[in-house]
Amino acid sequence: MLILKLSKDAGGFLTTRQPKHQRQIIAKIQELRDNPEPLDSIAMKGKKEYRRADCGEYRIIYRVDDDTLNVAAIGKRNDDEVYRKFFRK
């Protein structure tokens, strides 16, 4: 199982969600720790080392470095704000 590392933005976004959505996102992140490249994840265009995975109405942007799962951003799927924040870094 990979070590989890959340970015400040991802952690902040997660803490502002309702408990039901927090549990849903956390469950998906746990799945990614066990299998970082599931069939429903896609490599990001422009930053190939990052992948994105959908979790209900949310999108998780992450990458794997050696034995660490780095979650860079979490945001709504139907809102491009998550991509604007991510690509600004």
For the stretch 42-67, pLDDT in tens is 999 888 899 999 999 999 999 999 99
Fold annotation for 3-88: YaeB-like fold (3.30.2310)
For the stretch 15-33, pLDDT in tens is 999 999 999 999 999 999 9
Q: What is the pTM of this model?
A: 0.90
Q: What does the pLDDT average to over 5-16?
A: 95
Q: Residue 71 and residue 15: Cα distance in Å, rounded? A: 14
CA dihedral over 84, 22, 65, 78, signed as positive or negative: negative
